[in-house]
């Protein structure tokens, strides 16, 4: 029987992975369900219980970063160095590293990236034994967070040709309404992001942009899993566009 914590199963090789949703958690009110974020006003004990449930589901402590819509990548220290200052496994105190992607070749932790409309991107090279997660919102995607993540994976021996990727539940190009100038600025950098909403206004298709970036970097098209729900349309997921006060779900990845 499928766990209620697994709202969506990524198609990715060389790793255990899941996309969480709202189901299976203990948060209430505006954050009802499996909110994993500490910074959104939810009860702290509820968040820790939710994180513990996901850690138990994936079978390893979770590593989070403080996401700031950057292109910065945190490379987790080697296993014999311990989890690393501020990497944030569940239950560990201390500051958290500011970054929007995490890369590791370790098997004793699971990487977690939180979203509520932005793209949660999971990456795995099963040949080199390197995995990564990335938060690709508009700013991070255009600033190169996926390219930077692949570069750090390569430093650990990964090759784009061996990478499989899953771009999880996120707001779709028919729903992500933006001002006309913002669309034009994004399209000047990444043309495939230009879109229109289903009601005819300017929009961005970040998912198409991420697919384009990964393919341009050498990830095979057939190794990219991008068939996931729109978070604005699907109430199984938290969506900032649907409700500005809301929780965060996550893409979670552990090297197999």
Residue 25 has pLDDT above 70, yes or no: yes
Taking the domains of the chain in order of start, what are their residue ranges?
A: 15-255
Query: Which phi and psi (to 5°) does residue 229 adopt?
Result: -70, 160
Q: Give the tens place of pLDDT for each residue, 128-156.
A: 999 999 999 999 999 999 999 999 999 99
pLDDT of 26: 96
Q: Give the tens place of pLDDT for each residue, 57-116.
A: 999 999 999 999 999 999 998 765 544 434 454 444 445 799 999 999 999 999 999 999
Q: Measure Cα distances from 120 to 19, 64, 195, 249 in Å.
A: 8, 13, 20, 9
Provide CATH code, domain 15-255: 3.60.140.10
- Do 219 and 210 contact (CB within 8 A), yes or no? no
Residues 6+ apart with CB under 8 A from 57: 3, 5, 6, 18
The whole-angstrom separation of Cα 184 and Cα 202 is 9
Residues 6+ apart with CB under 8 A from 242: 231, 232, 235
Indicate the angle between helix axes 206-216 and 145-155, nearest 10 degrees.
Answer: 40
The DSSP line for 197-238 is: -TTSSEEE-HHHHHHHHHHHTT--GGGEE----BTTT-TTS-
Instruction: Give the predicted TM-score (pTM) of the model.
Output: 0.93
């Amino acid at each position: 029987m499928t766990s209620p914590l697994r709202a969506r199963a990524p198609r990715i090789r060389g790793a255990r992975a899941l996309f969480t949703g709202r189901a299976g958690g203990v948060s209430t009110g505006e954050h009802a369900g499996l909110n994993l974020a500490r910074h959104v006003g939810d009860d702290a004990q509820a968040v820790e219980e939710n994180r513990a449930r996901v850690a138990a589901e994936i079978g390893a402590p979770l590593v989070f970063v403080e996401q700031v819509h950057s292109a910065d990548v945190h490379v987790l220290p080697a296993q014999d160095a311990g989890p690393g200052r501020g990497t944030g496994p569940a239950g560990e105190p201390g500051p958290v590293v500011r970054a929007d992607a995490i890369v590791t070749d370790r098997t004793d932790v699971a990487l977690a990236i939180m979203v509520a409309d932005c793209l949660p991107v999971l990456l795995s090279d099963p040949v080199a034994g390197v995995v990564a997660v990335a938060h690709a919102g508009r700013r991070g995607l255009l600033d190169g967070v996926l390219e930077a993540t692949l570069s750090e994976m390569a430093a650990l021996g990964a090759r784009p040709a061996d990478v499989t990727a899953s771009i999880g539940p996120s707001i779709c190009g028919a729903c992500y309404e933006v001002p006309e100038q913002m669309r034009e600025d994004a399209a000047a950098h990444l043309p495939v992001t230009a879109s229109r909403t289903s009601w005819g206004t300017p929009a961005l298709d970040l998912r198409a942009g991420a697919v384009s970036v990964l393919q341009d970097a050498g990830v095979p098209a057939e190794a990219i899993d991008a068939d996931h729900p729109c978070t604005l349309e699907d109430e199984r997921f938290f969506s900032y566009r649907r409700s500005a006060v809301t929780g965060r779900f996550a893409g979670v990845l552990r090297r197999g």
